[in-house]
Amino acid sequence: KAGVTQTPRYLIKTRGQQVTLSCSPISGHRSVSWYQQTPGQGLQFLFEYFSETQRNKGNFPGRFSGRQFSNSRSEMNVSTLELGDSALYLCASTGTGTSYEQYFGPGTRLTVT
């Protein structure tokens, strides 16, 4: 099976702009979670989607949003970018049989200037 894929891998944006990141889970996986990784805060949970519905949400401002499509692919959007949004954004998918085990993609490195 192909692993979790994320596009783009690298992105440079300017403050105030918005950005959309994409994640394709492992085939058959219906849950997709998003994380932000920074040197200062470590790995922080953003949100989780299951069957096109947000099932869990972390403690991030409303500028961070996401959605999931019927094929389980997911996107996350960050509006009005701030310098502090510079981070590695990781997506992870989970299968229904082992719902506690997450498989991570390579991440999207977002730099806000």
Partner 1 sequence: AQSVTQLGSHVSVSEGALVLLRCNYSSSVPPYLFWYVQYPNQGLQLLLKYTSAATLVKGINGFEAEFKKSETSFHLTKPSAHMSDAAEYFCAVSSRSGGSYIPTFGRGTSLIVHP
Positions in the binding site for partner 1 (CB under 8 A): 4, 6, 31, 33, 42-43, 45, 48, 50, 55-56, 90, 92, 94, 99-107, 109
Kindly give, in sequence order, each residue whose CB lies less than 8 Å from that of residue 44, ignoring residues fewer than 6 positions away: 35, 36, 37, 38, 58, 59, 60
Token representation of residue 43: 């790995």
DSSP H or E stretch at residue 112: strand 108-112
Residue nearer to partner 1 on the CB measure, 49 or 81: 49
Query: Which amino acid is residue 55, in one-letter code?
Result: R
Residue nearer to partner 1 on the CB measure, 48 or 85: 48
Residue nearer to partner 1 on the CB measure, 8 or 16: 8
Find the length of the chain. 113
Residue nearer to partner 1 on the CB measure, 13 or 106: 106
Minimum Å distance from CB 13 to partner 1? 19
Minimum Å distance from CB 30 to partner 1? 11
**Residue given tokens 């085939």 in the structure block:** 27
